[in-house]
Structure 1
Amino acid sequence: MIVTLTANPALDRTIALDAPLAPGEVQSASSVQEDAAGKGVNVARVLGAFGAEALAVLPVADDDPYRRLLPPELPVRTIAAPAAARVNLALTDAAGETTKINLAGAPLGAAVVDALVDAVVHAADGADWLALCGSLPADAPDDLYARIIAEVRRRAAAPPRIAVDATGAALAAVVSAADEIGPVDLVKPNEHELAQLVADIVPGSDRGALLAEVRGDAVGASARLARRIVPIAARTALVTLGGDGALLVDADGIWHAGIPAGVEVRSTVGAGDSSLAGYLLAELRGADAAERLRSAVRCGSATASLPGTRLATPADLPSGDIPVRPLV
């Protein structure tokens, strides 16, 4: 069982453009799609498509249209929210370029946040993994994920391994609290989020310089930056690198995987979430580091090859080889 938390769910509205996005111009769209989304929901949907047992925990109002869009086959545990979920807008074109506009989301209130923490603790007890995914509600403290990790590890009779797929202050709070709550088992930033994380937690870091490093050498710079947090604050880091593949970093080594040959990027919506799901699927099978990394890249590439907001299923997996090499 894998439990996911989507603390700040979003109704994803994806508009497919007939031509590349042209700011300031009037353009035609070929289609529009609405989905109940948010990173944890996406991860749970991919896991379910591959036959894994998954449960998505999230706050959602009883009368929210979001609730009607949740896939009926997806097991969910909901906490009553005081307002409708935010709307995220994605503009995609035939060249695979995606422009996203994400809204902040309505405040939940302290009582709902407390109920959400309790629901996660109970749902995660006895699970294999708990994945804390995405941004936080507008009024939630930056250390909400750190608080949940502490509560799960303190109150659950059989606490799960914990993955965190978050950015900014929420991720920095988890990493900074490692001395108190212990290292998380997995973090999944992309190269830009990793640079931001190191800038946030290492005194004297120059954010602009770190971002320039990963732009100039995504693989090498990301490997060096990941070593700033692995294994002290996180036991493993899965760093997605877009067209440069992905890195897996743990106490035993660093591995890099390229993307499969022949994959044509059509939309990046949900690709990172699918990579996390692919990693967890392989980990549940007892796969070694190289195969966990291959599975992450294969699932992420599959979703990136699909239009709009579609997420990978077994039928979508690319068949091309995924080379994995250890880095010194």
Structure 2
Amino acid sequence: MMAGRGTSETEAAGGPARHLPVLLHEVIEHLAPQDGGVYVDGTFGAGGYTRAILAAAECRVVAIDRDPTAIAGGQDLVTDSGGRLTLVHERFSELEDVAERLGLTGQIDGVVLDIGVSSMQIDEGERGFSFRRDGPLDMRMSKDGPSAADLVATLSETDLANLIYRFGEERHSRAVARAIVAARASAPIERTLQLADIVSKVVWAKPHEPHPATRTFQALRIAVNDELGELARALTAAERVLKPGGRLVVVTFHSLEDRIVKNFFANRAKASAGSRHLPLAASAPMSFRLVARGAVEAGEAELAVNPRARSAKLRAAARTEAPAHAPGDLSSFLPPPPEARSRR
């Protein structure tokens, strides 16, 4: 599933596949690397996509990752690339700033984003992402800022329920929040298996179904790392750095991510007619044209060797000659707050 990234329910449960780039053939097909081109791998991870891009053409790759462990692990690839790879420790939402710092503004031929947590992070219990491996309840990709344990310790029952519902789509969010608050009154919740056990007592799952803590862990991870906000900002940044004809390829692993990408491309791949109240200010030409019609999913051959690819979806579009849309409120691409949705 990755250039070492993404997480599905199977993966989070510690499936057998490790560090297999998901939809690799499809990513390269839609990115279409060319000799002399400059490409951004916004989620370097284990370097799977970066290696494939470098092998596909005599091009340059700028690879970004917010995880310092991933950057350290990629130094051998930098050496082997003969000067064609630059690794940058940064959030992918800052790729416009990265391009400017490297003197590549307006020279980017393609951007690929593989969204989510990497299997490397999940496989390391000490990172705190896994509900099957014990470790500190951390979940911070960049290893700084508030951790999942901090959120569990400080949020009110209502805020916890809203967070778990909004980012985990957990229909038992109220019961989970209630159980967490009751448990923390007796002792701090600081370990992954400790939290998984608390959730498992109020969320039931059959043996063939995802682990009961899957959605709660997903919600905390998304909140800790601002994953959906990062994705929305990265999409608009890619719009600004890509040259005309440049490709944006995004691989997602759950419905919240895919919905953001789908809505973004739908918004940018059609011309706005404006309104009778603000006909000029609201009007915007198409800044992307769709390269892939709908979502591309993994085939049976890939699923046979990498079951973690089952939830992966790829969407791709190419920049037009039109200018990027003006910066604005990104909330329309994000899931609405719980107050705006019905909840069981």
What interval of TM-score do these two structures reach, taking the shorter chain for normalisation? Answer: 0.3 to 0.5
TM-score if structure 2 supplies the norm length? Answer: 0.33
Query: TM-score, normalization: structure 1?
Result: 0.35
Q: Which has the higher helix share?
A: 2
Task: Please say which structure displays the higher CA radius of gyration.
Answer: 2
Q: Higher relative contact order by CA 8 Å / sep ≥ 6: 1 or 2?
A: 2
